[in-house]
Amino acid sequence: MISAENISFGYDSRNIIENLSFRFDAGDLVAIVGPNGVGKSTLFELMCGNFKPRRGVVTLDGRPVGAYSHKQLATKLAVVRQEFIPPFGFTVYETVMMARTQYFDSFGFETQKDMDITARYLDITQVSHLAARRLDQISGGERQRVFIARALAQETPIILLDEPTSFLDMKHQVGIYDLLKRMQVEDKKTIVTIIHDINLAGQYCDKVMLLGGGSNYLLGKPSEIFTKENIKRFYDVDSVTGRVGDIDIFMPVGVRARTRAEAVV
């Protein structure tokens, strides 16, 4: 369980996040959405304890994030950030194994258990065949899977992801969210992810937090949050809506299409 009570945070005198409260329960798959610059990534850093809120408190299982030691926190919460490739050629296997570092034996080497866990998550994320390849030699989609495998190998109840699919094609986007859904259902993980694509958020997530900057935000079920009016209000974009089953799909409509539509009318 991860929750926040009236948190505020800003980089200068202005608070980019103001009086924000939420509660995500165990087994929730939550999407954080909103336009650029409204504090999605800031909220992300507040949740994983890298930033301290100016006011209010973020708690993990009832205890403030700041009260955990680094090691304790790493047993509660794993993070997938926007991808960074280190300048040294670590292999896929080495990268995923790093998640187990704090469980290594006293000589700093992995135990059989760590190897089993690493192998398991390489398998689940379908990157086993790449284990010996270097991170800079695989595709963006594969790399994102590797970083997800690394987060899973930490075996934490909570996983936070910052736009895990931003550079991926449709197939790989769906692949990643199918995987996250499976982790949520099978392992009862709490998953909180920043998403730009509200249609994917609507398909996969149980809860949506739509941020608009400052104290302006909405929290609820996708069907309640994703409405034409809210999208106009938060994104300042007109959209057309379609319905597939019980899921609403949104298409942004630009000036060009709009003027044409009006001409037809």
Partner 1 sequence: MLLLAVTVVVCLFIGSKDISMANVYAGITGSDAGNADYTILFKIRLPRCILAAIVGASLAVSGAVLQALLRNPLADPYILGISSGAGLGAMLAAITGLQISVMGISTMGLFAFIGAIGTVWLVWWIGIMAGSRQLTSLLLAGVVVNSFFSAVIMFLTSVMDSSSLQTTMLWLMGNMRDSGSGDIVLSVICLAGAMAVLYRLSPQLNILSFGHDDAQTMGVNVAFVRLVSFATAAFITSVAVSLSGLIGFIGLIIPHAVRLLCGPDHRQLLPICGISGAIFLVVCDTFARTVIAPQQVPVGIITAITGGPFFLILLVKYSRKVSMGSK
> Which residues are near partner 1 by CB under 8 A?
45, 48-50, 69-71, 73-75, 77-79, 81, 84-91, 94-95, 98-99, 101-102, 104, 108-109, 134, 136, 154
**Which is nearer to partner 1, 122 or 218 (by Cβ)?**
122
**Which is nearer to partner 1, 121 or 250 (by Cβ)?**
121
**Which is nearer to partner 1, 159 or 195 (by Cβ)?**
159
How far does CA 259 lie from the centroid of its chain?
A: 36
| Spatial distance between the Cα atoms of 77 and 60, rounded to a whole number of angstroms | 9
**Which residues, other chains included, contact 91 with Cβ-Cβ below 8 Å and sequence gap of 6+?**
131, 132, 133, 134, 135
Query: Smallest Cα–Cα separation from 47: which of 22, 29, 28?
Result: 22
Q: Is 193 helix (H, G, I), strand (E, B) or coil?
A: strand
**Which residues, other chains included, contact 29 with Cβ-Cβ below 8 Å and sequence gap of 6+?**
180, 181, 184, 191, 193, 204, 205, 206, 207
**Which is nearer to partner 1, 6 or 50 (by Cβ)?**
50
103's tokens? 């469980």
Amino acid at 53: P
Quote the least distance from Cβ 89 to partner 1, whole Å.
6
| Spatial distance between the Cα atoms of 146 and 140, rounded to a whole number of angstroms | 10
**Which is nearer to partner 1, 61 or 136 (by Cβ)?**
136
Quote the least distance from Cβ 120 to partner 1, whole Å.
18
Measured CA distances, 121 to 92, 97, 114, 129 (Å)? 12, 10, 11, 12
Quote the least distance from Cβ 200 to partner 1, whole Å.
24
Largest CA distance in the chain: 75
Quote the least distance from Cβ 150 to partner 1, whole Å.
8
**Which is nearer to partner 1, 94 or 238 (by Cβ)?**
94
How far does CA 246 lie from the centroid of its chain?
A: 24
Amino acid at 82: Q
Quote the least distance from Cβ 93 to partner 1, whole Å.
10
**Which is nearer to partner 1, 120 or 134 (by Cβ)?**
134
Quote the least distance from Cβ 121 to partner 1, whole Å.
14
Quote the least distance from Cβ 115 to partner 1, whole Å.
15
